[in-house]
Amino acid sequence: QVQLVESGGGLVQPGGSLRLSCAASESISSIYIMGWYRQAPGKQRELVADISSGGRTNYADSVKGRFTISRDNAKNTVYVQMNSLKPEDTAVYYCNVRRIGFNAQSGYWGQGTQVTVSS
């Protein structure tokens, strides 16, 4: 079973930046998509961004142009650089790893890291 550990969350002012990291406990092959999801209180979990081993990316419209996802295959790690943060970005952010052709819910999840954007 793959274990995923997120880090980098915290409290930041509007307009600020954070970088989240997610490290996998073992090698992640090219057949897996790595991504970030978030869940705010009272709302459903939603895609933030995901990325293939080859670097193909997918972003939610709400974060496009502000967030950048990246992946280091050698380190089995996925990152998301979050710039120009807004209060609406406040949520628990979860790392996800899934096989190509499988939905995120059937994959592996990290424990979540809190991101709070507030003045």
Digit-coded pLDDT (tens) for 69-82: 999 999 999 999 99
Q: Please give the pLDDT value at position 46.
A: 98
Residue 38 Cα distances to 29, 30, 48, 75, angstroms? 24, 24, 7, 23
List, for residues 46-104, the tens digit of each pLDDT value: 999 999 999 999 999 999 999 999 999 999 999 999 999 999 999 999 999 999 999 99
Nearest to 100 by CA among 64, 50, 60: 50
Residue-level pLDDT at 8: 97
Q: What angle do CA 49, 50, 55 make, to 5 degrees?
A: 125
